Amino acid sequence: MKKSILVSIFVLGSIVAAWAQPRAIGINIGPWTSFSYQHGFGSANMLDVAANVITPIPPFTGRFGLGGHVTYDWIDPFGATFPWDKKGEWHWYMGVGGSAGYVFEHDAAKNWFYAGAAGHIGFEYDFWFPFQLSVDWRPSIGINNVDNKIGFNDYGLWGPISIGVRYRFH
């Protein structure tokens, strides 16, 4: 009985601690449209989880894909901040993690997957109300299987720059 009470208190405390951290949810628009969730760990770190949809726009005409990125980011690393004395705050961040996905081509025989390491660098403006705007670059490298051959995936380095809009919870 005592153990179950202690476990219940620990679980409840963990849920409350996780809920009390800053979080944001939103969308990033670029060559890949991403639905993103950010979970803060204090004021200096965050976990960024993004579900990507590769949309059929140039240069991706004839392609559709699904994927994801997960990165652990450091906010204002090295103590470098933007000097700003108006409403709102500027921040920059960088992080590392992983990515994976699957791309569907017009010709089903040319469908391919990718997986590997991912980076994340960007800057954001946090408004004085609960919204933020950001510009992100999420490069990734790793393996892929284009034309049923395992190869090096450098495709993710070619400009998945996006503009993000997020709602912040506090």
Instruction: Please report, for the chain, how many H helices and E strands are present, in that order.
Output: 1, 10
Q: What is the predicted pLDDT for the residue at 17?
A: 44
Q: What is the predicted pLDDT for the residue at 8?
A: 53
- pLDDT band of residue 16 (cuts 50, 70, 90) is very low
pLDDT tens-place string over residues 114-141:
899 999 999 999 888 899 999 999 888 8
Q: What is the predicted pLDDT for the residue at 5?
A: 57
Here the tokens at position 4 are: 């179950």
pTM: 0.77
Long-range contacts of 51-60 (CB under 8 A, 24+ apart): 52/101, 54/101, 54/103, 55/31, 57/31, 59/31, 60/31
Pair 150, 5: CB distance under 8 Å: no
Question: Higher model confidence: residue 86 or residue 121?
Answer: 121
Q: Which string of b and e fits 25-37 if b means at least 16 CB within 10 Å?
A: ebebebbbbbebe
Pair 52, 67: CB distance under 8 Å: yes
Provide the CA 73 distance to its chain's centre, in angstroms. 9
Domains of the chain: residue spans and CATH: 22-169 (2.40.160.20)
Here the tokens at position 152 are: 């090096």
Res. 144: pLDDT tops 80: yes
Res. 26: pLDDT tops 80: yes
Of 83, 99, 93, 90, the residue nearest 45 (C-alpha): 93
